[in-house]
Amino acid sequence: MKIALIGAGNVAHHLAVELEGAGHDIITVYSRKLPNAEALSDRLSIAVATNELNFAESEAELFLLTTSDDALEKIIPQIVWPEEALVVHTAGAKSLTVLQNLLRVHSDVPLRTGVFYPLQSINKKIPLNWKEVPICIEGADEEIEHQLIEIARTISDEVYLVNSEERLQLHLAAVLANNFPNHLWALTKDLLAEHNLDFELMKPILKETLRKALDADHPAEVQTGPARRGDQTTMARHLQLLEDQPELARIYQTISESIMRWYL
């Protein structure tokens, strides 16, 4: 399948290399800044870099919109599409309808639409095992869905049909389970550093806890800590340590209360 990438960021980098490795032809890479498009096309065999958005004569059958959510709304009005092109975005928190409405307003030709959302935190500098990345597919009709599933299966063993509402739930879940713990680790590293203690010390317990949480039938089974036990003395002592850090104290209280409501 001939594919054009709109956007040359983290997701585009990984997807392009992986799709090409699976036998697809990435023929065009667009970025507003040409050097960014070139940086990616240089890693591909036949792709041409461009910073122009007139694709009327393009031979691409699939257009992958990999830009950020906000950029999507700015870029779509500028694109000229070939007729019947399959236009797909990769965003977790954007519905298929949003894409369709934008295209309805801003395109003169009939288009086919879908979503190709990899449920993974993707950084172009860090290698990724795509076989394990869940890819969430949605299409305007069954034929499109079938086509996108086939493409997704060439790079991942975990392909799912997920509608826009479900995808937004998954996106929220990723924020709660993924972005928030990462921030708690960042806060903890700084807290320890203030007392000349090394975050290194926490690594074994963090690895072990994730392993246990994922191995258990439910992460709740392996919950430990003072809030889990309702140990008010220890919680009060911790909050004392956070006296000068109202923000961290608020997080401590909010989550501890939630734990106590769950278990006690």
**Interacting residues with a copy of itself between 229 and 248 (CB under 8 A):** 229, 231, 233-234, 237-238, 241-242, 247-248
Structure tokens at 148: 């996108």
Query: Are the C-beta atoms of 112 and 146 separated by less than 8 Å?
Result: no
User: What is the footprint of a copy of itself within residues 137-156 (CB under 8 A)?
Assistant: none
Query: Are the C-beta atoms of 11 and 128 separated by less than 8 Å?
Result: no
Distances (CA, A) of 6 to 27, 31, 57: 11, 7, 16
Q: Does 120 bind a copy of itself (CB under 8 A)?
A: yes
User: What is the footprint of a copy of itself within residues 185-214 (CB under 8 A)?
Assistant: 185-189, 191-192, 195, 197, 201-210, 212-214
CB of 173 to a copy of itself, least distance (A): 5
CB of 45 to a copy of itself, least distance (A): 28
Binding test (CB under 8 A) with a copy of itself, winner from 34, 93, 149, 161: 93
Alpha-carbon span 158 to 119, nearest angstrom: 10
User: How many binding residues for a copy of itself (CB under 8 A)?
Assistant: 86
Build a one-symbol-per-residue string for 8-47: x at contacts with a copy of itself by CB under 8 A, - elsewhere: ----------------------------------------
CB of 229 to a copy of itself, least distance (A): 7
Q: Which of the stretches 16-24, 32-40, 140-148, 159-167 binds a copy of itself when contact is defined by CB under 8 A?
A: 159-167
Binding test (CB under 8 A) with a copy of itself, winner from 7, 110, 121, 150: 121
Query: Are the C-beta atoms of 108 and 83 separated by less than 8 Å?
Result: no
If the CB atoms of residues 39 and 242 are measured against a copy of itself, the closer one turns out to be 242
User: What is the footprint of a copy of itself within residues 169-188 (CB under 8 A)?
Assistant: 169-188
Residue at 201: amino acid letter: L
Structure tokens at 97: 């309808």
